[in-house]
Chains A and B, each alone.
Chain A
């Protein structure tokens, strides 16, 4: 997995609460058994004028020139709620998004982000709304700076906000680690647990 350390990039405000994974990628856009080729369908229902069509809706923020290079999304609470489809994260990543800032996330989406090199940042809604208005004043110039080493996000006006992230998640992103390989370091503990558990709960073992 690609490492995430620092990022200075254009941020696109999509300030709406409960943006679910059906919105991030509609089911019909998950056409093949593959993690690739999904970015075209990202936000399809908002990005294009017709269901299934490819004519861009100029009103949608990511279709507007300065935001086409966005690597960060600013959003409302409960971003990525709904379906567990990891396709939502694969699509965002393929399109170029590396960081999503929201007051809260759907739990499955949040871990999917970390597994795929996207940093989920939790900040208060008022802070996010303030950052969004700074960005909107001049999207191309007023970029956000993310520093995962220090766990900070710096707004265009220079104010810096600390954020919390699980240490394990932070390490995984910083080092670009493969989660299975990391867990296999505990393999002895897992096998011991299983051996003990087989005796305690034999009925569980089919």
Chain B
């Protein structure tokens, strides 16, 4: 019987069967960042252990660094500097590659690793960061781990992993006008829950996925973890190979040909089977936005805030009630009537060049509504540079957006800069958890185009209206 891509990746990296479904799995690449990676490197050092293959370990500064122009090692987060300097020293001592603060390649780990060609098809890649599943979009097995496991991966080149069950999430048809990969994944999580994928490795398949450019595929896989999945993956195809070719760390010349032959055999076989399957018709997807405090609180933009009283399951109902109290929303309110105080475009979900281009197309010749604080943070220095070369920063700035240096920025609140108490933010990020973007900040997840459209109108907005109006 045929195998799915996850099984192929698994088999190619299985070092030893430890019994009862646990395996020792070979790890090709480890990525670190200054917040959790610093602890992992220090932990190794304290235990007197070495990084086995430092040339296969990379580190970025993204989580704690400021994103205001002219930034230094000093941070708005109290004590942040220590994370930066400790990481720098530890990375140096361990002999790993660091994309430091002023390196033009610096940026969010999950943006940088594909961009530099460090992640590519066929690899196993881990990082002490939950959104490592992003890289699965290249046909790699990539997943988030804790700091202790990061030490394990660096010291032994392996991890102990329980073999996951397999789930296919198939998107039939192609997404309609104004519908992005972000809407596809929010649609999935909104209907199947934030725990819908627990215990599974999810493979995204179907025409809807094939039709997506590579950068949009990253968005899809990025949020596999918000679906509860161990990781997300997409079988690589020409789109993937074209994306990877020519990147700095990608195989080149003869090695490229050799690698390509290998990668072409990675794709899921026609007769492969899964333990579970979800089929979604792209025709049923319209722009999505969240109203609550879990990504599963996603709804169609033309819907109203749901009424918990109508939810039969009592745990879900209680969560809805708590969410509405936190978000200060009344059931029955049309989502498009919810006013916003801030708009954020950034994060490893949606801060790549194509995201910024799409948002800029909405913002062009328009202005952010009065009173809305709007910020754009490109995912990496390279994205920023490429966007500036196209004049995208000028469109953002003319519309009233701040244009920042690369980093995680206000995707999460580290203790420094934030949107302010109870501010309502429409955001292109991946987590609308309580206090995620700041103390009592209320986050509404959406695509970058929906964020741009909402920033312009001052309330949550169906981007399709704004886009046709012009």
Contacts and interface: CB of A to CB of B under 8 A. Distances in A.
Contacts of B195: 17-18, 77-78, 81, 104
Contact of B434 (A22, A104, A105): A22
B26 A194 contact: yes
Contacts of B225: 82
B152 A84 contact: no
A111 interface: yes
B36 A86 contact: yes
A8 interface: no
B24 A183 contact: yes
Contact of A180 (B55, B152, B322): B152
Contact of B15 (A20, A76, A193): A193
Interface stretch (A25-33, A56-64, A138-146, A149-157): A25-33
Given A22-B433, A112-B146, A189-B24, A202 B36 contact: no
A71 to B, nearest CB: 21
Contacts of A159: none
Nearest to A115: B148
Please classify how large the interface on chain B is, using the bins under 10, 10 to 19, 20 to 34, 35 or more: 35 or more
A197 B162 CA distance: 22
Contacts of A204: 28, 122-123
Interface in A80-94: 81-86, 89
B194 A203 contact: no
Contacts of B56: 205-206
B183 to A, nearest CB: 21
B302 interface: no
Interface in B246-263: 249, 251, 255-256, 258-259, 262
Contacts of B130: 82-84, 108
B329 interface: no
Contacts of A201: 122, 259, 262
Interface in A23-70: 23, 26-35, 45, 51-52
B13 to A, nearest CB: 9
A86 B83 contact: no
A194 B16 CA distance: 12
Given A17-B319, A184-B156, A84 B415 contact: no
Given A18-B294, A180-B152, A189-B16, A202 B146 contact: no
B392 to A, nearest CB: 29
Interface stretch (B303-311, B371-379, B380-388, B435-443): B435-443
B243 to A, nearest CB: 16
A32 B26 contact: no
Contact of A86 (B78, B147, B158): B147
A5 to B, nearest CB: 20
A104 B230 CA distance: 13
B22 A189 contact: no
Given A31-B78, A33-B82, A204-B122, 13 more contacts: A27-B412, A27-B414, A28-B413, A31-B415, A84-B130, A85-B35, A85-B36, A86-B128, A107-B143, A115-B146, A116-B148, A186-B15, A204-B123
Interface of A: 15-18, 20, 22-23, 26-35, 45, 51-52, 76-78, 81-86, 89, 104-108, 111-112, 115-116, 125, 166-168, 179-180, 183-184, 186-187, 189-190, 193-194, 197, 201-206
10 contacts: A16-B322, A27-B415, A51-B439, A77-B198, A81-B195, A82-B431, A84-B144, A84-B145, A167-B20, A186-B24
